[in-house]
Chains A and B, each alone.
Chain A
């Protein structure tokens, strides 16, 4: 187990990068502490897989260093980094039994039979695979096979970090729940360092203690799920996290007063300096917009999501989404909405004003 640091890491897949568009990863300084549960979250093409491959040693960064417990391993191959990886598609040896699959990494490392037996049993028990141990892996369902992949990553005690690259993408929603909570439980029990790469905010937020949000090759925010939800530091984070994402509405700032479509709006971070020439927006999540005295809107669409309804409203040319709890009536056409001042924030050029 180790602390992993990335120092001034940059990466480009082209030999002579010119503009910023040539860099798959822009300047990165990151530290993953020992025993943490991390998620690396971002859309396709944001650089998250490149970052994962740099940590595992599959990709050498164009610049910067990768340190494990302050030892520079930038030029060292994957085998010397003691890393376990779980991929999107389960990797199992079909001809082997579940037991043999789980024992495989331990046998490779020449562990004693008694020790292998004890470790395989413990992991199988945690994953609720006990009854499957003598069975051929080929006969398992997709989630069963993915459990074996997880198990092979967890069975070794010599790994520095376990990395998961979209491990639940091919799993059905109701089994996803089970596997995700299993993973969370395994982290809580084993306290291994885990890095979970995903484009799915629900997976990232429920699994991780700290989420690293990436966008176009840069880290835009690192924070706990609560911080990312409550106080997005970039409109991208506000949009990307949350379903539906944050309402981002253009606004004017005049003499310290924030105006949205001519209406005064109270924000949690009132402007202190000059904002002339900058693009200003307010951000407020649908969870913090409610029906009540405020901005007049027309109701465009109401979708029943079961435990709440997603209401799409319109004020002038602007679309505002809000969530309304089960059992609360939604007016048919005209209404007015209120932004919670404690959760309405001002952004300039996409960044939270602080």
Chain B
């Protein structure tokens, strides 16, 4: 099964919500839409589902043009951030509702609901009403309803956002398994890079109504095609600075320079933008490939297992995140080390040139 957006544009009035986008999704693994609030993730999902019609371009499903076909005529399931269930129906009836619409036999309905309820760990709650359930159980009910019919397209719009941290972790762990034997295209929208990383599959980074990159999740994370993608796919935010390449050296400031790595070395001298993820700057020098950077400490956050140090160097704000407890005094100047082998370099207009 495939779902394609072909040169799709969505405008409302004079505003363009989705700039021209082409995207081809398949059934293998999750398809993550990663981006901040209002980046366009929900609009993209609505276009995929047929809840919204594109202003231009076409939506194709399995080789058929489905542009303009209403959502009711497509086999689509959706789960939203808010826990949406029928409050007056039992959990059983909530899960069974798509099967009732499809006029499935009583025996088959019962069997299916039971099986799905066990899969999402809600079986003991089948006779209760949604109001008697915790948030996590309510969202499991909504997920079960999305799973019970064999939808061609399953759209999960930030389904974990309203859950407690631990419940989110638990459900995120289970989600890929719930879908692994299905022939559905699964799309999952989130603002959190960690969700994308741990759910795997493919990721599309979304920013200001554009998909900046689409590919296997680990590849997009480790080799972002441009600075916009790197920014969307970094939490805490990626450190960036303009550097100058001079001969074999990368010069960050009067005090900080390091040898240019292969890939960058061959490129012409001049200005580049370096991108350094916070965990590649550490208060401890790791190996020979580390460049020292002195920073004036602004804030420190010690979480018990890792240390986050916010510091200023060359009038720029930097963040370092490292394993262990590194208590540094606010206001003092401290030594930190950049893992230069893991720096990414972008052209001044933001395209990746070396990673």
Task: Name A's B-contacting residues (CB within 8 A).
Answer: 43-45, 142, 172-175, 177, 180-181, 184-185, 188, 199-202, 205-207, 224-230, 239-245, 285, 287, 303-307, 310, 326
Contacts and interface: CB of A to CB of B under 8 A. Distances in A.
16 contacts: A142-B37, A173-B193, A174-B36, A206-B302, A228-B304, A229-B303, A229-B304, A229-B305, A241-B304, A303-B198, A304-B197, A305-B194, A306-B193, A307-B277, A307-B321, A326-B342
A108 B355 CA distance: 56
A60 B238 CA distance: 47
Nearest to B298: A185
B1 interface: no
B304 A184 contact: no
Contacts of B298: 185
Which DSSP category, helix, strand, loop or mixed, fits chain A's interface?
helix
B247 interface: no
B87 interface: no
Contacts of B319: 177
Contact of A303 (B197, B234, B304): B197
Nearest to B304: A229
B277 A306 contact: yes
Contacts of B308: 181, 206
A128 to B, nearest CB: 12
Interface of B: 36-37, 134-135, 164-167, 169, 191-194, 197-198, 200, 217-218, 221, 234-237, 277, 279, 298-299, 301-305, 308, 310, 319, 321, 323, 325, 330, 342
B299 A184 contact: yes
Nearest to A240: B166
A43 B134 CA distance: 11
Residue of B134, B301, B310 contacting most chain A CB atoms (<10 Å) = B301
Given A44-B164, A185-B298, 19 more contacts: A44-B134, A45-B134, A174-B236, A174-B237, A181-B310, A184-B299, A205-B303, A206-B301, A206-B303, A229-B303, A229-B305, A241-B304, A287-B305, A304-B218, A305-B198, A306-B194, A306-B277, A307-B279, A326-B342
Which DSSP category, helix, strand, loop or mixed, fits chain B's interface?
mixed
Contact of A181 (B197, B299, B304): B299
A206 B325 CA distance: 12
Given A44-B134, A306-B279, A245 B302 contact: no
